[in-house]
Amino acid sequence: MKRLVVVGVACGLLLVGVPNLLVWLGGRSPVTQDPARVPHAQAALVLGAQVMPNGAPSSMLSDRITAAAELYKAGRVDKLLLSGDHSRVKYDEVGTMRRILLAQGIPAEDIFTDHAGFDTWDSAQRARRVFDVSSAVVVTQRFHMARALYDARRAGLHATGYAADRRDYGRVLRRLQVREAAARVKTLGDAVTGADPHFLGPTIPITGDGRTSWG
């Protein structure tokens, strides 16, 4: 019985460990917080995160918004592609990001919104297949960056990363790091099966006017 338990634990570790290693290897890349060191790209792919019940961004989302504005104002990207969850009327990650970026003076025509970026795989796939992005700077926190870059590259994007870490996220970060291990297993499954995003739709070229995507 004890031997079976040991074998079971070993198999479980293997099933989690191998996908995590593969995704990490596929997404590893020098990641900076210095805009001057970021190669120029068509767009910043700004990944969504939690919005509070009062409509305010969580600390992680707030920092991603700040990082996106930094890249745009430094001239490292031409457009901002905000991708997140807007599956419910009263929950809108992309609308929250857009509102704050507009208030910071980012031109409306340079802000694109992807309302169906329900997870990182979907965001990357839709960036390439709906918004016709070929090169992107992925904006997220370091704990998430390897998977985000892996997904972006699997989608066919020439992608680099810009770390949005601006503070100590405490217990929230530790909880998300645990969840990230499971998410890497899922993303490898998506890659192996060639999973489509939940939704596609008509092409909205990133070279156009972002307001056409606001919907």
**What value does the mean pLDDT take over residues 118-134?**
98
Segment 19-47, tens digit of pLDDT = 788 877 878 888 889 999 999 999 999 99
pLDDT of residue 178: 86
Where exactly are the structural domains of the chain?
A: 2-213
Fold of 2-213: Rossmann fold (3.40.50)
Query: Does an H or E element contain 197, and which?
Result: none
- pTM assigned to the model: 0.91
**What value does the mean pLDDT take over residues 109-134?**
98
pLDDT of residue 23: 75
Would you place residue 9 in the very low, low, confident or very high pLDDT band (cuts 50, 70, 90)?
A: very low
How far apart are the C-alpha atoms of 46 and 82, rounded to whole Å? 5
How far apart are the C-alpha atoms of 111 and 132, rounded to whole Å? 15
Which structure tokens are listed for 207?
Answer: 């070279």
Please determine, for residue 154, whether its predicted confidence score (pLDDT) is greater than 90: yes
Q: Give Cβ neighbours of residue 160 (< 8 Å, ≥ 6 apart).
A: 29, 38, 39, 41, 136, 137, 138, 149
> Mean pLDDT for the chain?
92
